[in-house]
Amino acid sequence: MKKQPKKISKLLVAIDLSHYSRPTLEYAVETAKLTDARMVIINIINQKKIDAMEKAVNADHPGKFVLSKHLGEEMDRCKLKVKTLIKGIPMMDDVPVKIRIGHGVPHVEILEAVKRENADLLLFGPKGQTNLKEFLFGSVAEKLFRHSPVPVMSIRSR
């Protein structure tokens, strides 16, 4: 007996606010419409970025970096960017959407969100805000492909 694939009812769409984010969201909306699924959009503030900011602030003003204050402000900025990004996407209003902003190691946080949100499919862009060093030592996408408990789709630019 052939096992039927699980119905897709919730998409987790991981974006990094790079120029790949809009095409990824456009494709995700189309997919959500076709499958009658809800969407959870997630953006993770990379812990490396937080650590670099702390180091830079403390170099000029020792002890002045307040993680909770900085993180709260950065999360608010990212949420506003996501909301701005989705405003101009056709059919976005037709799909139930939840926005989640987190921080930490991106692939770890995204995989945790897949479980926490009970997602059926994980979507993300083909590349992010990485450089050659990141490419040589493993990317977020590679880790998501290897460890995701649900099917994964990488959206290529059209």
Per-residue pLDDT tens over the stretch 46-91: 988 888 877 777 677 787 767 777 789 999 999 999 999 999 898 9
Task: Establish if 62 belongs to a structural domain.
Answer: yes
Task: Establish if 4 belongs to a structural domain.
Answer: no
Q: Which residue range(s) make up the domain with 66?
A: 10-154
Task: Establish if 68 belongs to a structural domain.
Answer: yes
Q: What is the pLDDT of residue 60?
A: 76
Instruction: Please answer whether residues 28 and 7 qualify as being in contact, where contact means their C-beta atoms are separated by less than 8 angstroms.
Output: no
Task: Establish if 45 belongs to a structural domain.
Answer: yes
Reported pTM: 0.85
Q: How many residues does the chain have?
A: 158
Number of domains in the chain: 1
Q: Is 28 helix (H, G, I), strand (E, B) or coil?
A: helix
Instruction: Write the CATH number for 77.
Output: 3.40.50.620
The tokens for 121 are: 């499919």
Find the helix or strand (DSSP H, E) in which 82 lies: helix 67-87
Task: Establish if 40 belongs to a structural domain.
Answer: yes
C-alpha atoms less than 13 angstroms from C-alpha of 139 in its C-beta half-sphere: 15
What is the sign of the dihedral through the CA atoms of 121, 122, 124 and 127?
negative
